[in-house]
Structure formats: structure tokens, C-alpha cells
Amino acid sequence: MTTLDLDDDAFEQAVPLIYVLSDSRGETANTVVMAAAAQFGDGSVEIRRLSNVKDVNTVRAYFDEDFDPDRPSAVFHTFANGILRREIRRELDRRGIPSIDLLGPAVTVLSTLTGEEPTHAIGAVFNEEPEGK
């Protein structure tokens, strides 16, 4: 009787895990991640959200408990505070977890264009209507 030589790895591929971290609810980062994931089909990734992050210790504790180093993963984040953003980036780099800062580069470009410093307001949303209209 002939047996099939199946590659066990093909059946044990872990679905990549995408962590969405934010100092607010994480809606912005989650929307970007879902738009990107849609390019790969349903079930291509699993998304977990950690909202209302106020310090790097929260991130440390979360990843100490909930991180599987054998599963492909990445972090997408939006933090208004530049210092917190850098601290979290350093922590993720230290752990070898790839991360994408979705807010920082956009804020930097807008600051350059406007000549203004950002407010660093958590959860802020732009109002397109000029004041007084």
C-alpha cells in the first residue's frame, strides 16, 4: 500500500498575529491593519488590540504574558506622545518584534508643512470644517 508523503509543516503554518497598540482606542491603527489584511484574504492574519496604553510597562507586561515567539507577528501602533512612542519602539526592538509606527511619520510631515508643533492630544480627530462655518 502506498502512503502519501505529506509535508507536516504545510498543515502547521501558524496564522500571523498582528498586535494593534494605541494610547486611545486603537481605531485608527486597526482600520489601517484591516485594510492591509484585506489584500490577503479572510483568515490571513489574526488581529489583537491593546488599547489605552499609558506607559511602556503596560506593553512589557502584555508581551511577557501574551507573546508567542514561535508565531509570526508584528505590531502596528499609534501613540500621540513621541517619548512613549520611542520607549515602546525600543522595547519591541529589544524583543525582536517588528513594529510599524503609523502616526509618528505623518505627524512629523504635517509639523514640517505647517511649521507648528503637534499637540500630542490622545484620540484627537481632525475636523475638516474651518472654524466659523
Does residue 79 belong to any structural domain of this protein? yes
21-41: pLDDT as tens digits: 999 999 999 999 999 999 998
Does residue 1 belong to any structural domain of this protein? no
Does residue 2 belong to any structural domain of this protein? no
Does residue 9 belong to any structural domain of this protein? no
Does residue 47 belong to any structural domain of this protein? yes
110-125: pLDDT as tens digits: 999 999 999 989 988 8
Does residue 49 belong to any structural domain of this protein? yes
65-105: pLDDT as tens digits: 999 999 999 999 999 999 999 999 999 999 999 999 999 99
Total number of domains in the chain: 1
Which H, E and C letters describe the chain, residue by residue?
Answer: CCCCCCCHHHHCCCCCEEEEEECCCCHHHHHHHHHHHHHHCCCCCEEEEECCCCCHHHHHHHHHHHCCCCCCEEEEEECCCHHHHHHHHHHHHHHCCCEEECCHHHHHHHHHHHCCCCCCCCCCCCCCCCCCC
- Domain span at residue 46 reads 21-114
Does residue 10 belong to any structural domain of this protein? no
Does residue 46 belong to any structural domain of this protein? yes
